[in-house]
Amino acid sequence: MEQEKRRPWRRWVVLVLMIAGFVLGGIYAPVQPEITVAAEKLIEEPLFNLGPLGDFYLVNTLPTLAVTLVLLIVIAFFTNRSLKNSQATDLVPRGIGNVMEAILEMLYNLTEGSAGKYAKMIFPWFATIMIYVLFANLLKLIPGFESIGVLHPHGGEHAAELHGWQIYNAELSHDFILAPFFRGISVDLNFTASLALISVVMIQVVGFRAQGLGYLSKFFNTRRMFKVPFFGAMDFLVGLLELISEVSKILSFAFRLFGNMFAGIVLVAIVAGLLGKFSILPAMIMMFELFVGVIQAFVFGMLTMVFMAQATQGHGGEEHAEH
């Protein structure tokens, strides 16, 4: 058989995009976001006051949080409708129902392999956290997600009030700072710390549900304190170290996710600043961001699941074997 002639049209597409990016980069200044740890304010005036907690501002991670929740609810609605339609016909899931069923089945098998009989108790938390973090990480990769927003004056001769829509050009780049309407919620320490707190609290809840009050012996082990004083004191100190380790999980969870996702923003900004008009090359860094977003969601969810599974087990010699 005569082999089909190769047509490397993809290379021409990449070349055209590079030329277009170079030309447009000379006309319109590429957006150079201000690298800040805190989320940017969309409105300078606070929405309301929280008393001792201070003023509450509309920051650009709040719209992202709302969009994330709405999209997840929409996906859940269509998944539920797809599964109901399959139950009413031939019991074969199709479309989005088939995709979500495959994902949840894979996650449940992972949970069952680690937690055993406690899989049904741990799985909802593990799956919810992992899917939500994955969705939040991938949402920020949508084009225009962090490049359309409000221009705030940054000094200079031309820093004046703007009306209507403006294209970010070289002149505006000297006098204004762009605060995007949407910023990835995984790069907001408030979000990662809240999620870490929920995860660690639920680890303790799972431990109490599995072991009852005996779960406290993991942190305050005094069973051998008076029988074998030396080893009893060692057990008590080890328990206190376990308590410190449990609290430190909040910091570990929060800063691991925040640090890796925030580093992606810095990397993209640095590459874009070094390459200037070659806008297609910084866009390739987004493939690396995609990889990091998936890995971090998997790591966050798996650590939560593994710690919950460990909380259901007895601590060392305190397990009671049946004879």
- Domains of the chain, residue spans: 60-146+182-317
Residues 30, 21: Cα–Cα separation, whole Å = 10
Task: Say whether pLDDT at 322 is over 50.
Answer: no
Q: What pLDDT score was predicted for residue 313?
A: 82
Name the band, by pLDDT with cuts 50, 70 and 90, for residue 320: very low
Task: Say whether pLDDT at 302 is over 70.
Answer: yes
Q: What is the mean pLDDT of the chain?
A: 79
Name the band, by pLDDT with cuts 50, 70 and 90, for residue 196: very high
Name the band, by pLDDT with cuts 50, 70 and 90, for residue 314: low
Name the band, by pLDDT with cuts 50, 70 and 90, for residue 308: very high
Q: Residue 197: which residues within 8 A CB-CB, separation 6 or more?
A: 250
Residues 80, 120: Cα–Cα separation, whole Å = 20
Q: What pLDDT score was predicted for residue 156?
A: 47
Within the chain, strands assigned E span 48-49, 55-56, 149-153, 176-180
pTM metric for this prediction: 0.79
Which of 4-18, 105-119, 153-167, 268-282 has the lowest average pLDDT?
153-167
Average confidence (pLDDT) over 279-294: 74
